[in-house]
Amino acid sequence: MSGQYKYHIITFGCQMNKSDSERLASVLESMGLRAADKPEQSDVIMINSCSVRDSAESRVYGKVFNFSKFKKQKPDLIVGVTGCMPGRDKDKKILAKMKNVDLFFPTQEMIMLPKRLSEINPDLVSVSAAEHYLQIRPNYSSKFQAFIPIQTGCDHFCTYCVVPYARGREQNRSLKEILDEIKSLSFQGCKEVTLLGEIVNHYVAPDREFFSRDNIYKKNDFAKLLWEINQIEGIERIHWTGPHPIYMDEEVIDALTLPKQVNFLHLPVQSGNNEILKKMNRRHDREFYFELIKKIRKKKPEIAIGTDIIVGFCGETEKHFQDTLNLYKECEFDIAYIAQYSQRSGTAAAKAFGDDVSKAEKKRRWLELQAMMEEITLRKNQAYLDKEASVLVDNCEKGICSGNSGEMKRVYFRGDESMVGSIMAVKINKAQEWILWGEMV
Ligand code: SF4
């Protein structure tokens, strides 16, 4: 019976959520549901929510409101919300604002979805899912690129962050399971894996006996994991996100030079001022971060580096902000994801500090930093002119192929659809802030 039913998933937020949605799709398909392109064509709509900012949550409320209108025309429609909003809703205040949803559960409870759906609609046959949601085989959205979560949750409690509340404490996935998943992906033609974790470089294998005896790293399990993946035939590029600066030890820095490692590192700094870093509970200061960037560039001089920055955090003065600007200038990042601080209820910052930088001032600081980023990014991109980039093509439209270089720069060049999924050598002849243009070599 389930075969006649259709589902639609709407995903908000980070790569971890996108990866979780691939598992969600797999659970629904194992029950016999088929994907629908549009929510109005479906019988089950799942929203995978994000809590990182107020605006992200508002968009989820907006969707839930719209779908409650659909329910009037189609009373059997099942609407579910999962992800970070149910995860952090300990006092049920969020759920109270979503009266018309039928399912509301944190990501980890995805394994219960078949049972809950069949309770609502007995035509939907419950199938047994895995013991842990990360054991669910995802319904990968690409044949040649895959997200591989190696950990979920976080113990760090940065004062602004909801992740430890929404996803719980850090849980590391079995090494054997990770390696088996990647080996099977490589067998099916996957070329690039992106390892995901809240502090990916804090990975501790629960089953260390599966590390090879000849692994060149001895101390850091994450470095050891990178080495193991480097040995898997067929995998050509390894990318990971997001690390924490304090776990970038000598072995992880050395692993940046492994042959399949992409030439890019995303290393969040959040602020350039020590007082603010302390209030954020980031556990490092700006001097430590500078030294780390120097060490990384000494080891791998051409590496592109990205970061995350929050402007307008509680008590951030103009002087503090200037420290962030000059840190940015000094580190010469290739890219930054700049966020205006958004207070999240339940976090330490919401309890202990006032959200005292005005919206207008946050926006002004964001614009100033954004302008600096664009200027530096453009200058850095110009250094690629006349050089060869290695591009994993993920799209081709009207004879224009595009994909990411090893530095995670978006590259466009003339080509054809047969190139999608291949790694092509492209000589760069034009550099813009967000796009490099070139010709196939
Ligand atoms: Fe959040 Fe900090 Fe953990 Fe990152 S390290 S997930 S910012 S608490």
pLDDT tens digits for 253-291?
999 999 999 999 999 999 999 999 999 999 999 999 999
Mutate to test the pocket of ligand 1, among 84, 162, 170, 198 (most ligand atoms within 8 A of CB): 198
Instruction: Say if ligand 1 is within 6 A of residue 164 CB.
Output: yes
Nearest C-alpha neighbor of 303 from the set 293, 312, 313: 293
Q: Is the CB of 156 under 6 A from ligand 1?
A: yes
Nearest atom (ligand 1) to Cα of 199: 5
C-alpha 151 to ligand 1 mean position (Å): 13
Looking at residue 267, its pLDDT comes to 98
Mean pLDDT for the chain overall: 96
pLDDT tens across 372-398, in order?
A: 999 999 999 999 999 999 999 999 999
* Share above pLDDT 90 across residues of the chain, in percent, rounded to a whole number: 96
Sheet holding 304-311, edge to edge: 264-266, 304-311, 335-340
Q: How confident is the model at residue 125 (pLDDT cuts 50, 70, 90)?
A: confident
Q: Does 99 have pLDDT greater than 60?
A: yes
Nearest by Cα to 384 from 437, 329, 441, 440: 437
Is the model's pLDDT at 128 over the cut of 80? Answer: no
For residue 91, the model assigns a pLDDT of 92
- DSSP, res 359: H
pLDDT value at residue 127: 84
Q: How far is the CA of 279 from the centre of ligand 1 (A)?
A: 14
Count other Cβ atoms within 10 Å, centred on residue 66.
Answer: 13
pTM for the whole structure: 0.96
Gyration radius (Cα) of the chain, Å: 22
**Residue 120: in which H helix or E strand, if any?**
helix 113-120
- If you measure from the C-alpha of residue 198 to the centroid of ligand 1, how many angstroms do you get, rounded to a whole number? 6
Element (H, E) at 163: helix 163-166
Are 296 and 253 within 8 A, CB to CB? yes
Q: What spacing in Å lies between the alpha carbon of 153 and ligand 1's midpoint?
A: 9
Predicted pLDDT of residue 2: 59
Neighbouring residues of 179: CB distance < 8 A, sequence distance ≥ 6: 210, 228, 229, 232
Indicate the DSSP class of residue 147: E
Using 50, 70 and 90 to split pLDDT, how confident is the model at 419? very high
For the structural domain made of 2-134, what CATH number should be given?
Answer: 3.40.50.12160
> What integer is the mean pLDDT of 28-44?
95
Single-letter residue type at 17: N
* Whether residue 199 has its Cβ less than 6 Å from ligand 1: yes
* pLDDT tens digits, 140-175: 999 999 999 999 999 999 999 999 999 999 999 999
pLDDT band at 1 (very low <50, low <70, confident <90, very high): low
Q: Where are the domains of the chain?
A: 2-134, 385-440
CA dihedral 278, 279, 282, 284 (to 10 degrees): -10
Give the CA count within 13 Å in the CB-facing half-sphere of 183.
8
Helix runs in 75-155, H state only: 84-88, 93-96, 113-120
Query: Is residue 113 within 6 Å of ligand 1 at its C-beta?
Result: no
Alpha helices in 2-141 (DSSP H): 15-30, 54-73, 84-88, 93-96, 113-120
pLDDT band for position 88 (cuts 50, 70, 90): very high
Closest protein CA for atom 5 of ligand 1: 156
Cα–Cα distance, 255 to 49 (Å, whole number) = 34
In a 13 Å sphere around the CA of 303, the CA atoms on its Cβ side amount to: 26
User: Residue 339's closest CA among 329, 350, 324?
Assistant: 324
How many C-beta neighbours within 10 Å does residue 417 have? 12
Which residue matches tokens 């959205």? Answer: 141
Q: What topology does CATH give the domain 385-440?
A: OB fold (Dihydrolipoamide Acetyltransferase, E2P) (2.40.50)
In this predicted structure, the answer to whether residue 75 has a pLDDT above a threshold of 60 is: yes
CB–CB of 70/77 below 8 Å?
yes
Decide: 158 in ligand 1 pocket, CB within 6 A.
yes
User: What does the alpha-carbon distance between residue 324 and residue 369 come to, in Å, rounded to a whole number?
Assistant: 9
What separation in Å is there between the alpha carbon of 189 and the centre of ligand 1? 33
Residue 418 burial (CB count, 10 A): 10
Average pLDDT over residues 86-105: 94
How far apart CA 364 and CA 85 sit, in angstroms, is 29
> Which residue puts its alpha carbon closest to atom 1 of ligand 1?
161
Q: How far apart are CA 90 and CA 166, in angstroms?
A: 9
* Distance of CA 309 from the midpoint of ligand 1 (Å): 13
Coil/strand/helix, residue 378: helix
- Does 339 sit in the ligand 1 pocket, CB within 6 Å? no
Q: How far is the CA of 82 from the centre of ligand 1 (A)?
A: 20
- Average pLDDT estimate for 76-104: 95
Report the pLDDT averaged over residues 388-411.
98
Phi (first) and psi of residue 268, to 5 degrees: -60, 135
- Kindly state if the Cβ of 157 falls inside 6 Å of ligand 1: yes
Confidence of residue 126 (pLDDT cuts 50, 70, 90): confident
Q: Is the CB of 52 under 6 A from ligand 1?
A: no
Asked if the model's pLDDT at residue 6 lies above 60, the reply is yes
Q: Phi, psi at residue 388, to the nearest 5°? A: -95, 130
